[in-house]
Structure 1
Amino acid sequence: MSERVIGPRSGLQWVPLRDAGSTCPAARTTVAAFRSWADSHLTQPKDEMGRDGPVCPYVLPSIRRDLLWLAQVPAADPQPEWMRAIIRDALELYPGLPTGNGSSSSVLRALITIFPNMTDYSLIDEIHDEFKTIFVSHGFMLGQFYPGCDQPGLWNKEFKPLDAPLPMLVVRPMMTTDFPFLVEKPEWADAYVRKFAPTLPAHVRSVMVGRLTSRAASRLPAYQVRPAGESCSTGS
């Protein structure tokens, strides 16, 4: 696959971040705004976040290894069916993206679709809710970001990690730290356990998932301990 990827249904083209502004002059303002947010927020520590380290520790290495792909949808009011086509394309294209210097870099890949002129963000939430399950079933996460998104952070409920200056839908890999965001539904929890404990027999996995999802995620004691290696706070 070439570095630029084009969705077969939507015709939308995702371009590596380093090239996005040069290959599409109309996207330069959007790319500059995204880079500014990444540099000033995502890659920086925030006291209100409730833990040490940058808001998302993966963004800086992703940028350095050219593993972020961006696309801009300039329409202020994109049709829902076109947005569905875009997200279906993203699901299909994401697994084939280059991984940089080997498979160990695959966790750094992200496919980012930006809607810079959108002002009604309800469609972002609608598409996210509609497609999250299928992304999770493939071992991926679909994140919604937009100005004023009030989804709470993991360590501090007052911190809003998905509040961003640009409306976006972001595809990234599922990580072990995503567990609190997936325990809400049995099918999400099953996909999580299947990904990270693939040798478990299906009947054992079913029992585990049933017990995990029978109580609120906030009551699960395992997440009082902060993992050392994966601490991205941008939930989905």
Structure 2
Amino acid sequence: MQLYTILEIEQLQEYEDRPYLLETIEWVKSFLARPHPKLGRPGAVCPFVPHSLKSNSIRLAVIRTKYLYPEQLEEIVGSYKDIFLKMEVKEQELAINKAFLLIFPDVHIEDACKLIDSVQQKLKPLFVESGLMIGEFHKRNETPGMHNPDFRPLRSPIPLLAIRFMVEADLPFLLSPVDPRLRIRYLEAYLKCFDHKFTDETKFKNAHQALALAKEQLKQGNLVH
């Protein structure tokens, strides 16, 4: 499960998983790094990707899952959290552009929703509490775009999980759990991550308000039961 930068992949010769790496790179360059008419805002689909490409800060790995149990897959993906955090960057200002793309070519499209999504949901709390985000991508992903509910930004040609550092703009992704306990975990981790170093005071206030609401919902739920 070797991690490769895009420049390293382009120089690879004999490697059986190279086609999956190249297909994913093409998707990153032609979709994530470019504007889209259905996006609902100006700029690239993922605003960080153009900078990540320019600084060669994206690393990709192919994970073969044919003989793995779901628990084994969770363990493998979880190990990349520690690898990501320990990996140094040459220039501190490029840290925010660092990303891992873990590619799963053995996962059939019919199984992607169950397997990829479940691994992401299981591990997300641990990643968020480490100041990271983990996102699930595959052809059947129905998650709507933030600025256009008819846009599907998390669809990729090959199932994959993406790992990156949390940013202030991630707040909406931490408000979705119905369970107030999970929302509280996410919001407390979010506030701790930026430790009053917010550049956007509105997000700071919104996070505190959302946290207070989640705690009140938990309190009311406990009273009902």
TM class by shorter chain equals 0.7 to 0.9
Give, in angstroms, the shift of residue 208 of structure 1. Answer: 4.2
Q: Does 1:136 align with 2:160?
A: no
Partner of 1:117: 106
C-alpha offsets along residues 128-181 of structure 1, whole Å, 9 cap, x if unaligned? 111100100011001111112001111111111111111001110101110011
Partner of residue 93 from structure 2, selected from 95, 104, 117: 104
Give the SS at the match of 1:25.
coil
| TM-score, normalised via structure 1 length | 0.77
Tell me, yes or no, if the aligned pair for 2:136 and 2:162 is still in contact at 8 Å: yes
Runs of 4+ in 1 over 4 A off after TM superposition: 206-209
Structure 2: distance between partners of 1:33 and 1:208: 42
CA shift, 1:111, in A, is 1.3
- Cα separation, partners in 2 of 1:153 and 1:24, compared to 1, 3 Å: farther
The structure richer in helix per residue is 2
Runs of 5+ unmatched residues, structure 2: 177-182, 199-204, 217-225
Q: Equivalent residue of 1:112, what SS?
A: strand
Kindly tell me the number of residue pairs found equivalent between the two proteins.
200
Deviations 1:100-138 (A, max 9, x none): 3x1111100111110013111111111111110010001
Distance in structure 2 (CA, Å) of the matches to 1:199 and 1:55: 26
**Structure 1 76/146 Cα, relative in aligned 2: closer, same or farther at 3 Å?**
farther
Query: SS at 1:187's partner residue?
Result: helix
Q: Distance in 2 between matches of 1:86 and 1:128?
A: 12
- Classify 1:76/1:158 alpha carbon distance in 2 versus 1 (closer, same or farther; 3 Å): farther
Unaligned runs of 5+ in 1: 1-11, 216-236
Query: 1:84: which partner in 2?
Result: 74
Q: TM-score, normalised by structure 2?
A: 0.80
